[in-house]
């Protein structure tokens, strides 16, 4: 049981990592001068770590994973900082969305366990914050606020669609 | 110790988050050219504004030193003025060099001062170590202050002109009539000029200067101006009120006058007294 959860998460990290760097990184979704769409699906494995994962461990995983992504994006630290931020916020959002009876010991943040509504609000909140943080750090100055804002909105919508599709297709248990 | 560990357990997660973000931003700034440019530019804006502020504070802190140097410069200027006065009034051009350094001025700070008592003293933050000896005169920019009475290595006590025993030989500048400047308790800005005989003319507004008849004050330091002149019936001399130029309730920069030749003069005068 326990080891299968670990393996499931490892596979998820690997697959999303590969999908991000092989597919999302190369897909060009710009339409004319409208180039605000960037697929950012790699945060999902961090969000889907089991609820009982130690918070500090989540941060460390997020940092290492983010640095690996950065290695391929050739932007050291940018994705990592956004992902560490998302991992930090995750614990707060989890508390915010906690059901009345609290979480069970065998709860995982999946559609199967928590329901589609819960999963959608959980992932969309975090992904939106992640996108905003990422594009802010990428621009590195709020002078480019319009740029950051547009990037955040359109990247969030497309990435969210891809993530939800994946969830519906693969239906992960853990 | 236990508390520290508890604190670390409770906030360790947040600290770890901050540390990681810090590390990330360090990496971002150091390895991304674009972000580095923005960071350096912003940091420059920030640091220049900080620099400007620090500079302002520094300037304020330097005021003390500035003040000190101005004080000393003033001492030199007043000395020059005294020398000039002496040279032009007492000597011809060919003996100019004789007295050119008779008086030395020493800029000093004031430690303690009084003006409400019958007999007032003030304390200077300079003593023997700076060459101050008893019976030196003390002046401010606008007039006379007192006479050094006692010195210790680092301090000296000055008998203020506001003292019942204070007796300073002064002149009416207009006609050189000589009198003694004394103080009676009361208004610290008003002193009395005594023993000016009634055959001299004294007008309200006349300037009073030191006479230079003692070894303490050189001639020509401005003291004050005549405020009222009264000739009491049956008296042989005027009763004159002098309004001081300086304000004894607020001394600021003071100067001790050292007369290089005072010892010589005193010895000579003492010999005459002995011989008689």
For residue B72, give how far its alpha carbon lies from the nearest alpha carbon of chain A (Å): 54
Secondary structure (3-state) at A133: helix
For residue A46, give how far its alpha carbon lies from the nearest alpha carbon of chain B (Å): 15
Instruction: From A45, A155, A84, select the one nearest B27 (Cα to Cα).
Output: A84
In this prediction the ipTM stands at: 0.82
A62: confidence class by pLDDT, cuts 50, 70, 90:
very high
The length of chain A in residues reads 174
**Model confidence pLDDT, tens digit, residues B180-194:** 999 887 788 899 998
Of A77, A88, A141, the CB nearest to B25: A77
Average pLDDT over residues B130-140: 88
Cβ neighbors of A110 (< 8 A, separation 6 or more) are A48, A119, A167, A172, A173, A174
Structure token digits, residue B52: 């400007």
**Model confidence pLDDT, tens digit, residues A69-102:** 988 888 888 999 999 999 999 989 988 888 888 8
* Mean pLDDT lowest among A137-146, B13-22, B130-139, B203-212: A137-146
Structure token digits, residue B177: 């009539």
> Which one of A21-35, A116-130, B120-134, B188-202 scores highest in mean pLDDT?
A116-130
Question: What residues 10-69 of chain A have any CB closer than 8 A to a CB of chain B?
Answer: 55-56, 59-60, 63, 66
- Sheet of B103-108, strands arranged across: B103-108, B254-259, B137-140, B143-151, B156-160, B121-124, B110-113
B97: confidence class by pLDDT, cuts 50, 70, 90:
very low
């Amino acid at each position: 049981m326990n080891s299968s959860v670990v393996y499931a998460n490892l596979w998820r990290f690997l697959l999303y990592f590969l999908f991000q760097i092989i597919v999302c990184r190369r897909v060009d979704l710009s339409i004319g001068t409208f180039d605000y769409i960037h697929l950012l699906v790699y945060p999902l494995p961090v969000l889907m770590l089991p609820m009982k994962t130690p918070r500090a461990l989540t941060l460390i995983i997020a940092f290492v994973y983010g640095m690996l992504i950065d290695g391929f994006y050739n932007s050291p630290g940018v994705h990592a900082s956004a992902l560490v931020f998302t991992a930090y916020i995750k614990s707060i959002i989890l508390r915010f969305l906690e059901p009345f009876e609290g979480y069970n010991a065998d709860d995982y943040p999946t559609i199967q366990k928590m329901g589609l509504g819960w999963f959608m609000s959980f992932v969309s909140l975090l992904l939106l914050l992640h996108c905003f943080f990422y594009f802010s750090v990428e621009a590195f100055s709020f002078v480019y606020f319009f740029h950051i804002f547009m990037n955040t909105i359109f990247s969030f919508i497309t990435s969210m669609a891809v993530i939800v599709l994946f969830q519906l297709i693969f239906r992960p248990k853990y | 110790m236990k508390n520290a560990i508890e604190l670390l357990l409770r906030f360790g997660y947040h600290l770890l988050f901050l540390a990681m973000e810090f590390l990330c931003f360090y990496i971002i700034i150091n390895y991304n050219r674009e972000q580095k440019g923005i960071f350096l530019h912003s940091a420059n804006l920030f640091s220049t504004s900080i620099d400007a502020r620090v500079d302002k504070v520094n300037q304020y802190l330097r005021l003390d030193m500035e003040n000190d140097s101005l004080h000393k410069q003033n001492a030199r200027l007043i000395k020059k003025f005294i020398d000039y006065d002496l040279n032009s009034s007492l000597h011809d051009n060919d003996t100019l060099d004789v007295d050119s350094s008779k008086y030395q001025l020493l800029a000093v700070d004031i430690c303690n001062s009084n003006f409400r008592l019958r007999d007032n003293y003030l304390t200077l933050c300079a003593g023997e170590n700076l060459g101050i000896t008893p019976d030196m005169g003390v002046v401010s920019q606008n007039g006379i202050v007192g006479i050094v009475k006692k010195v210790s290595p680092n301090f000296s006590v000055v008998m203020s002109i506001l003292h019942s025993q204070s007796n300073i030989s002064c002149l009416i500048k207009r006609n050189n009539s000589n009198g003694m400047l004394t103080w009676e308790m009361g208004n610290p800005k008003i002193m009395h000029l005594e023993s000016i005989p009634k055959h001299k003319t004294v007008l309200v507004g006349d300037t009073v200067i030191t006479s230079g008849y003692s070894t303490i004050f050189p001639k020509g330091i401005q003291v004050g101006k005549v405020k009222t002149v009264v000739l009491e019936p049956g008296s042989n001399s005027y009763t004159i009120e002098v309004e001081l130029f300086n304000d004894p309730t607020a001394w600021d920069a003071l100067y001790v006058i050292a007369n290089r030749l005072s010892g010589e003069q005193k010895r000579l005068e003492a010999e005459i007294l002995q011989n008689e």
